[in-house]
Amino acid sequence: MASENKIIPDSNVGRLEAMNSAGLKNTAMGAGSILTPATKTRLETIQPIYQTVYDEVGFKTQAVNALSAEKETARADLKMIVSHFIQVFNLAVDRRVFPATNRAYYKLDVGKPMVPDMTNDADLMLWANNIVTGETKRIADGGTPLAFPSLAEVTALRTLFNDVNTSHNTATQDLDTAQEKLTSQNPEADRVIKKVWDEVETYYNEETPESMRQNARLWGVVYQRVGGPKKIGGKVTNKDDGTALAGAKVRMKNGRGLATSDADGNFELSTTLMDQQEIDAELLGFDDYAEMITLVENENLVMEIKMKKSV
């Protein structure tokens, strides 16, 4: 049977919204605040710290997203020119401009005119390095330089990708550090939010339940209709091409629990929430996702979450 209960936030943005609402109300009431002095002190201490660290995570995320776009472009350019170099060299071998044995300079199979697989960054850099060192040695041994693309062009794009990749790795590490710092603040934030909400409800407990909840909401207390457990499942995909996205974090804004999409993009989470609710998803390199859904008692929900690549 459905009932209306307060829901302690389980997301960083939910925690911040709860503390900001309580902080504004507490400041507005001044000396007449209904919070105990100890709770006021804890709230006034944790809220600005949490806001600062939360903002830092946002800034670091923006930096990573920007560098992710740069890295993707640099990677595509490097892969294209490495592939182009090998293809042109193989054609020159077919035309007997160069002997097939010269493929060994680039660590290529002498007997097979193939373009190696470069599906990850390590493989791409390996073959870019093979081209640069191999072409340098072949020219030093008296070979005619390949003109299109040239050694200089491959070297320039290899350097660009390496620089962007290094910056991206550094930015990702900085983001991880900021996220860990924010996570370390969550236990105290949760304790303070619960303390504030309990004191607010206690202060208004002689009013009708509806009036109590109305006043408590001004302090950031979140009430939701809850009922029996239900499952929300589906798939997280790239909005641009429909491919599955792994590693996306999916949660209800006003609920507890977190689901992470698997290698096929599938996710599933359980909730007791009902009625209109917001479901959120986040994945590095993609814009945060938010959608309002309707939850009905004893009914599961299947949906597709389409995420847009960050610009």
Last-in-domain residue among 203, 221, 239: 221
Q: Per the structure block, which two tokens stand in for 307?
A: 């995420």
Q: What is the dihedral of CA 6, 12, 16, 19, to 10 degrees?
A: 50
State the amino acid at position 160 in one-letter form.
L
- Do residues 280 and 311 share a domain? yes
- Do residues 147 and 59 share a domain? yes
> CA angle, 50 as apex, 47 and 53 as ends, to 5°?
150
Span 152-173, pLDDT tens digits = 999 999 999 999 999 999 999 9
pLDDT for 1 equals 58
- Do residues 190 and 249 share a domain? no
Q: In what order do the strands lie in the sheet with 275-282?
A: 259-260, 249-252, 275-282, 289-295
**Is residue 121 in some structural domain?**
yes
Span 38-76, pLDDT tens digits = 999 999 999 999 999 999 999 999 999 999 999 999 999
**Is residue 245 in some structural domain?**
yes
**Is residue 6 in some structural domain?**
no
Average pLDDT, stretch 102-119?
A: 93
- Do residues 311 and 227 share a domain? yes
Average pLDDT, stretch 231-246?
A: 95
- pTM equals 0.76
Domain count, the chain: 2
- Do residues 227 and 178 share a domain? no
pLDDT for 225 equals 82
**Is residue 52 in some structural domain?**
yes
Q: Which domain holds residue 199?
A: 11-221
